[in-house]
Structure 1
Amino acid sequence: MADHQEELWLGIATTAVPRDGRRRWRPGVHYRRIARAARRHGLRVCLFDPGRQAEWSRLSAFVPMDSNRPDGDWEPMSLRFPDVIYENVYVHLAVKGYSAPLRAEARRRGVPLFNPMLPGKWQMIRFLRRVHLDHLAPETEVLTSADALWRALERWRIVYVKPSGGYGGVNVHRLELLADGRVRARADRRGGRVRTWERVMERRHLDAFVRSLRGRYLVQRGLRLLRVGGRKVDFRVVLHRDHQGEWQLIGIVPKLAAPDGVVTNIIAGGERWTLEQLESTAKREGKDVPVDDLVRAAKSIAEALSHRYRTIGLVGFDMAVEEDGSVRMIEMNPKPARSLLDRPMLERLAACQAGFARWLIRR
């Protein structure tokens, strides 16, 4: 294995590397995009699995065989600890601490790592309150009891009950107080299963419902979402910081829920549209999509986060437009799925990722 000590290295932490000892390999297209963009900033890129390192002083990694042709084959290499790290481990592994030793080592060495661990849903609400941006989020409370849930239903009529640390729309419930005093509860992915779960219950049954939930849950006012074609819409707004540390818009992706769906997640039956497609359909229905307001709100929150978390580089906000035109942030995704983005968005993303890595080194 060759060794290059004099160059600046951007290390990408990922589990998407071979485990079978092969000598040649070609990574996924987005990693090659980043490597191309990194060359323009004088950086070389290596990919490594943070959970399969014998020692941090010498990383087992993969690099392009020809540094000028990152779209070609890559080979294994032993190299020093990188100058900057992009942590891109799958979210289900990250939340279990898969990258924790890497984060600790980077911190010990003073090596910048993006993204840092970011607040969960409840911590995010508290953060927005501290920076006086809570008007951009729906009214939210910690679920403490069936009585508290009933009071929320009386106040808002429709509420969402969601896990504070969940992702992918799993165990997100919509509860509606019906005219006869009963409560309709519905979920698209209860217990991780992709199937609709629905119950109509009396108030006295809320206690059993609350007890069935595991971990901390939140109660959030049900937003009266913009509907297009009779389907509820929210917007994934993806931002990334650039070579000057400034937030740039990568893209806006409308997501339409399934008819009477609880969430817009694609795995739960939602559908991705282009912004142009949505705006055209909405216009025919006499509705407006306040794109500038969505971007402005997302950037306001991102700016506040980057003052608190200095190495944050990527965020994906699920944003809502209510029927009255007001904009709300439903939740933040610290690892937004690239699968929602089209090719021009992915090119912008790779350029920003490489540029931001170089900015972190200079800083």
Structure 2
Amino acid sequence: MGWRQPIIGVTTTVIPRKDGFFGQMARRASELGARLVLFHPNEIKFDQGIGYGYEWTGLAAKVWRKSEVPLPDVIYENVFVHLVMQGMVRSLRHAARVRGIPVFNPLIAGKAAMTPWIADCTSCGVQVPVTRRILRVQTLDEMLRRFGVIYVKPSGGYGGRGVYRLRAQQDKIFIQCDRFYERGPLRLTVTRPEFARFAQRHFLRIPHIAQERIPLIKYHGGQIDFRVVIQRNRNGVWELVGIVPKIAAPDGVVTNLVAGGSRMRLAQLQTLLRAEGMEIDAHALERVAMNIGRLLMKRYPKLGILGYDLGIDERGQVWFIELNPKPARRLLFPEMQRRAGELAVDFALYLAEPKAL
């Protein structure tokens, strides 16, 4: 059989009309002698050995053209998180595994399992908040007695949806949530019996975790955390894509943009905080991200993209908040998005090589 260009398959439910991120990826693939094809997850026909996807025509046409192609050599699974959680790509992952086609990013453990792994990493250089699975209402009572203020999160959540801050006030509990389902923000003060009923309804039906509050630095009354994105390159080595500070609204619960937060250039925030006598050690953030990436790579060899939310307290200590194997690209600044696309192609070709795994 003669040589053919490697095919990088990208699974997505949204086929773009214009250039954008996927167009940048397609050009990078072409530069490296490969083809990039966008597939809906249902359009890769493993049993037939073909797929129906879209290729970037480039040049003057600048459109995505549908075509029939052989099965891809590697798949970048890029379906929205909520659709993945509904099982959309389960059969695709299984079929690819049976045929030896590498798929990244892999599914990884949720917050409840991930946090203790990182807490046990003595070389990672990061502080991890006390975290407990919520198996009963008494868990919340115990955490509130110990810390006074705690955060509650769905173990498989995203976008700041359903993240609560709970504050104990004598015989009352103050409940705050910036994205309370699709109803917007929630601010509620309840008695302890009312809280028990609230917790039964909202925290015990699906897996949730409770965490101590992290003493994050603030700017204009909004707590700050940092999205740190790293990706693996053509040699399988982690590289920093970018660090993006996120700032919550004053007294906000989360920093997510969709929940009222805002972003800022790192250099700009460093200048503003320096005027207030605070320093941001960007190298410490990068170092922690790389250390955790190397740790997780041992468990998940096909892991190629990680987006962390890390915090810094007033002592300069770096805290782990959470990580996401599918960090939102829209949070990144343009030059970071370009680099993210290049590295996604580079790592795909690394995986496609027989020596990779």
Give TM-score scaled by structure 2 length: 0.92
Following superposition, the deviation at residue 51 of structure 1 comes to 2.3
Read off the aligned partner of 1:9 and give its amino acid letter.
I
Following superposition, the deviation at residue 38 of structure 1 comes to 1.4
Residue of structure 2 aligned with 1:216, choices 207, 231, 244? 207
Aligned to 2:286, the other structure's residue is in SS state helix
Residue 100 of structure 2 corresponds to residue 118 of structure 1: no
- What is the rounded CA distance, in whole Å, between the counterparts of 2:268 and 2:159 in structure 1? 24
- What is the rounded CA distance, in whole Å, between the counterparts of 2:194 and 2:67 in structure 1? 60
Q: Runs of 4 or more off by more than 6 Å in structure 1?
A: none
- Distance change in 2, residues 1:147/1:134 (3 Å): farther
Q: Could you say which residue in structure 2 is the equivalent of 1:200? A: 189
CA contact (8 A) 2:43 2:51 kept: no
Matches within 5 A, 1:218-297: 218-297=209-288
Matches within 5 A, 1:92-171: 92-129=82-119, 131-132=121-122, 136-171=127-162
Read off the aligned partner of 2:321 and give its amino acid letter.
I
Aligned to 1:190, the other structure's residue is in SS state coil
- Unaligned stretches of 5+ residues in structure 2: none
Following superposition, the deviation at residue 131 of structure 1 comes to 4.4
Read off the aligned partner of 1:102 and give its amino acid letter.
L
Partner deviation per Cα, 1:139-174 (whole Å, 9 max, x = no partner): 100112222212111211110011111111111110
- Distance change in 2, residues 1:221/1:293 (3 Å): same
Moved more, 125-134 or 334-343: 125-134
Aligned to 1:212, the other structure's residue is in SS state helix
Q: Could you say which residue in structure 2 is the equivalent of 1:51? A: 42
Q: Could you say which residue in structure 2 is the equivalent of 1:21? A: none
Moved more, 166-175 or 134-143: 134-143
- What is the rounded CA distance, in whole Å, between the counterparts of 1:137 and 1:130 in structure 2? 9
CA contact (8 A) 1:136 1:297 kept: no
Following superposition, the deviation at residue 234 of structure 1 comes to 0.6
Partner deviation per Cα, 1:93-113 (whole Å, 9 max, x = no partner): 111111112111110111111
- What is the rounded CA distance, in whole Å, between the counterparts of 1:63 and 1:231 in structure 2? 44
- What is the rounded CA distance, in whole Å, between the counterparts of 2:115 and 2:243 in structure 1? 22
Read off the aligned partner of 2:86 and give its amino acid letter.
K
- Distance change in 2, residues 1:9/1:53 (3 Å): closer
- Distance change in 2, residues 1:135/1:349 (3 Å): closer
Partner deviation per Cα, 1:289-331 (whole Å, 9 max, x = no partner): 1211111111111111111101111110011112222111111
Give TM-score scaled by structure 1 length: 0.91
Residue 55 of structure 2 corresponds to residue 82 of structure 1: no
Aligned to 1:124, the other structure's residue is in SS state helix
Partner deviation per Cα, 1:103-133 (whole Å, 9 max, x = no partner): 1111011111110111111121233245455
CA contact (8 A) 2:43 2:53 kept: no
Read off the aligned partner of 1:144 and give its amino acid letter.
L
- What is the rounded CA distance, in whole Å, between the counterparts of 2:332 and 2:60 in structure 1? 22
- Distance change in 2, residues 1:273/1:12 (3 Å): same
Q: Could you say which residue in structure 1 is the equivalent of 2:289? A: 298
Read off the aligned partner of 2:53 and give its amino acid letter.
A
- What is the rounded CA distance, in whole Å, between the counterparts of 2:64 and 2:161 in structure 1? 37
Partner deviation per Cα, 1:304-361 (whole Å, 9 max, x = no partner): 1111101111110011112222111111111111101111111211121111111112
Q: Could you say which residue in structure 2 is the equivalent of 1:61? A: 53
CA contact (8 A) 1:233 1:256 kept: yes
Identity of aligned residues (%): 36
- What is the rounded CA distance, in whole Å, between the counterparts of 1:216 and 1:226 in structure 2? 29
Following superposition, the deviation at residue 210 of structure 1 comes to 1.5
Read off the aligned partner of 1:203 and give its amino acid letter.
R
- What is the rounded CA distance, in whole Å, between the counterparts of 1:70 and 1:170 in structure 2? 42
- Distance change in 2, residues 1:160/1:70 (3 Å): farther
- What is the rounded CA distance, in whole Å, between the counterparts of 2:67 and 2:242 in structure 1? 35
Read off the aligned partner of 1:10 and give its amino acid letter.
I
Residue of structure 1 aligned with 2:165, choices 174, 178, 181? 174
- What is the rounded CA distance, in whole Å, between the counterparts of 2:174 and 2:35 in structure 1? 55
Read off the aligned partner of 2:347 and give its amino acid letter.
F
- Unaligned stretches of 5+ residues in structure 1: 19-25
Partner deviation per Cα, 1:5-44 (whole Å, 9 max, x = no partner): 82211111111128xxxxxxx4441001111111232211
CA contact (8 A) 1:243 1:355 kept: yes
Task: Please give the root-mean-square deviation of Cα atoms over the aligned residues, in Å.
Answer: 2.0
